[in-house]
Chain A
C-alpha cells in the first residue's frame, strides 16, 4: 500500500516528467522534421524544374520546327500570290494598252470625230460672223433709209411752207422780209420762195381709201355685198337749200355707168387704122410689091387703059362722103 500511495504521489510527478522529457524531444523532433521537409521539397523542386526544363526544350524544338514549316508554307503562298499578281499586273497593263488603242480607234472612227467637231465649230463661228455683218449692214441700211425718209419729209414740209407763204417774196419796189437791204446776200429762204410755185385754192380731195379691183370681190361670196360704184355717198347728207333735185335722183344720174353708142365707141383714127389694115392685107397677098405690076395685072384682067385706071384709083382714095355737120370716114 505504501508503495501505492508513494506511487500515486509520484504519478503526477512521473506524468509531468514523462511529459517534459517527451516535449523536449518534440522541439528537436519539430526542428529535424522541418529540416527534412525543406531538403526534400528543395530536391523535389529541382527535379521538377529539370523536368520542366527538358519539356521546354523539347517543346521549343517542336514549335521551332512547326513554325518554320508553316512559315515556309506561308512564304510559298505569298510568293505564289505575288507572282500571280505580278503576272496579272503585266497582263492588265498589256490589256490596258490594247484597250486604250482600241477604244481610241473606235471612238475616232465610229463615234466622234474631234477634227470634224473643230471644223464644225469653226464653221459655226464663221457663219455667226457673216450673219453679224449682214445684220449690221441691214440695220445700217434701215437707218439710212429712215434718215432719207426724214430728210425728204423735212424737205416736203419746207417746200409746202414756202408755197403757202409765197407772198413774202420780195418785189422790185419792196424788199421782202428775207431780203433785207442791209444783208450782203439774201436769206436762203428767199431763194426757196423764188423757186416755189404758189398754192392754188383746191377743194380738199375726197380721200380715195382704196381702189378695189374686181378680182378681190370674187373672194366674197355674199350677193348682198356687191356694190355698184367705188365710193358710196356719205350718209348724213343734208338737203341743200334751194331748187335742187332729189339727192337720190342726182346720185343715180351721177353714178350711172357709161353706155356709149356704137358710133361714139369708135376710135378717132379709124380711117388710118383701116387703111393700114388694108395695106397689110395686100402686102400679105401680093406676090410683087410694084405698082406697075399691079397695074399690069389689072390691065390683063380688065381691058381699060392705064390712065383711066390711075384716075380711078385716085378718085377712090380721095373721095369722102360728107354728111351734114360731120365727117364720116369711108370704109374701104
Chain B
C-alpha cells in the first residue's frame, strides 16, 4: 500500500470521530434526545475522545459531556463515577482557551446538581485549576471558571469555604472590574453565592474590597448585571450590623432607589431585598433609609408590582416600623398603610398576606395614633376575616391574630371597633369590650353614639361568666349609663314589659 492510502485510512477515522462528536454535541442541546443518548451508552464513548490527539475533538467531546451533565444529575454522577474529572482537571492546566472553556463548563454542569457532586469536584483538586483559569487573559475562560466556582459555592458553607481557601475571592473581585458585561454578571453571582452562607465568608468577600466595585456597578444599565450585584450586596449585608454599615458607607443610597423603578421585576425584588436586609438590623440604619426617602420609593415599588416581587418590600416596611414609633409614624405619613391594606386584600398567596398582616401589626401596635391610622383604612375587618377563615394557613392565622390583638390593645377609634362587637370570636371580643370600657367613661359623644348605633344592645347580649374580665368590662360599660337605658336594652326586656301588660289589672273606680 502506498503511503497516501495509509494516511487516508487515518484521515477517514479522524473525520468520523469529528463528525460523531459534533453530532453528539448538537443532539445534546435538545432534552428529548438525551435519554436516548444515555441509553446508547454515550458516556463511555465520549471518555476516550477526551484524550484524543486532535484538539478539536477533545474540545467538542468536553462540550458534549458538559451538555449531558447539565441535563440531570444521573448523568453528572456518571461523569463523576467514570473518573473523567481528574483527566479534565489535569488538561485544564495545559490546554488552550477553547478546551478550558469546555472543561470549566463540564465542571459547572456537574457541580450544580447537588452538594455531593460538588464535593467530588473539590476532592479531585479542581478548585486550584479553576482559580488559575480565573487569571487567564481570555474573558470567556474567566467567565466559565467563575461560573463553575459560583455553582460549587452555592450549596453549603463548607464548599464555599473551600472555594475561598483556594484563593478565588480576590480574583473574582478583579473579574468584576473587567469590561465585559457577561463576566461581570457571573463574577457578581459567584460572590453572591459565596457570601450568602455565613458572616465570616461575607467578611472575606468584603476584605477583598468587593463592596466598592459592586456599589459602582449599580449604575450600570444592564438589568441582569444589576440583579446579580444587588443580590450580592444583600447577601453581604444580611449577616450583621457591621457588614450592613459597610454596605451603606459605600454610598448606595439614593442610587439604589433608582433600581426600584427599573423595568426588570427581579431588579426591583433584589433592590427591595437589599434595603430590607439593611433596615432590619438597627433603628439607626432604618432611620438612614427613611431620611433618604427610601420608604416612599419602596411603597411605590410595592404598588407597581404583584406577587412574590412585593414580598421583600412589605417585610422592609414591617422591619422599619418595628424599631420605634417615630419610624412607624414615618411609614404612616409616607402613605404606607393604604398600600399594605391593598396588598392584604388583593394578593392570592397566603405567605404574602401573612407578611402584610405582620407589617400592619408592627405599624399599629405603638400608640393610639398609630392604631387609629391603621383602623381608619378599614383593614381590621379584613384581618378578622383572615383569622376566622378556615382556608387560611396556620401561619396566616397566627400572624393576623397577633396583629389584631396588638392593634386592638391601643385602638381608641370607636367606629372601627364597633363591627367587631358583632362577629368577633370571644377571645378578641374581650379586648374590644375592654377598649370600649376604657374610652366610654370619658367621652360623652362616644357614649351617645354607642347607644344609637346599637352597640349597647349588643353588649347586653354578650354572655360572660361572672367574675371574668369580660364581665368586669361589661359592668364598667353599664355603669356609664343610667339604669333605665341598661334595662331597656337588656335582652328580653320587651318580653317582660309585655308580661307586665298581661298581668296588669286596670284600676276600676
Contacts and interface: CB of A to CB of B under 8 A. Distances in A.
Binding between chains A and B: yes
Interface of A: 117, 120-121, 124-125, 127-132, 135, 138-139, 142, 210, 212, 216-217, 219-222, 225-227, 235-236
Name the 5 nearest CB pairs between A and B, nearest first. A131-B293, A128-B296, A127-B293, A139-B261, A225-B137
Interface in B471-497: none
Given A127-B292, A128-B296, A235-B55, A117 B135 contact: no
B254 interface: yes
Contact of A135 (B136, B261, B290, B292): B261
B300 A135 contact: yes
Nearest to A125: B333
Contact of B136 (A125, A220, A236): A220
A132 B296 CA distance: 7
A125 B299 CA distance: 13
A121 B333 contact: yes
Interface residues of B, number: 34
Contacts of B380: none
B291 A124 contact: yes
B330 A124 contact: yes
B434 interface: no
A120 B326 contact: yes
B134 to A, nearest CB: 10
Interface in B287-345: 290-297, 300, 326, 329-330, 333-334
A210 B139 contact: yes
Contacts of B132: 222
Contacts of B291: 124, 127
29 contacts: A120-B326, A124-B291, A124-B295, A124-B334, A125-B333, A127-B291, A127-B293, A128-B295, A128-B334, A131-B254, A131-B294, A132-B296, A132-B297, A135-B258, A135-B260, A135-B261, A135-B300, A210-B179, A210-B180, A212-B137, A216-B137, A217-B137, A220-B135, A220-B136, A222-B135, A222-B136, A225-B136, A227-B137, A235-B55
A241 to B, nearest CB: 15
Contacts of B98: 235
Contacts of A236: 56
Contacts of B330: 121, 124
Interface in B122-145: 132, 135-139
B297 A131 contact: yes
Question: Which of A135, A212, A216, A222 counts the most B-chain CB atoms under 10 A from its CB?
Answer: A135
A219 B333 CA distance: 52
A124 B261 contact: no
B295 to A, nearest CB: 7
B261 A138 contact: yes
A142 B174 CA distance: 30
B196 to A, nearest CB: 27
Nearest to A235: B56
Nearest to A128: B296
Contacts of B55: 235
A138 B255 CA distance: 11
Given A117-B326, A124-B290, A124-B291, 19 more contacts: A124-B293, A124-B334, A125-B333, A125-B334, A128-B295, A129-B296, A131-B254, A131-B257, A131-B294, A131-B296, A132-B297, A132-B300, A210-B180, A225-B135, A225-B136, A225-B138, A227-B137, A235-B55, A235-B56
A44 to B, nearest CB: 58
Given A125-B333, A135-B300, A138-B261, A130 B136 contact: no
A238 to B, nearest CB: 11
B19 to A, nearest CB: 12
B463 interface: no
Interface in B141-179: 174, 178-179
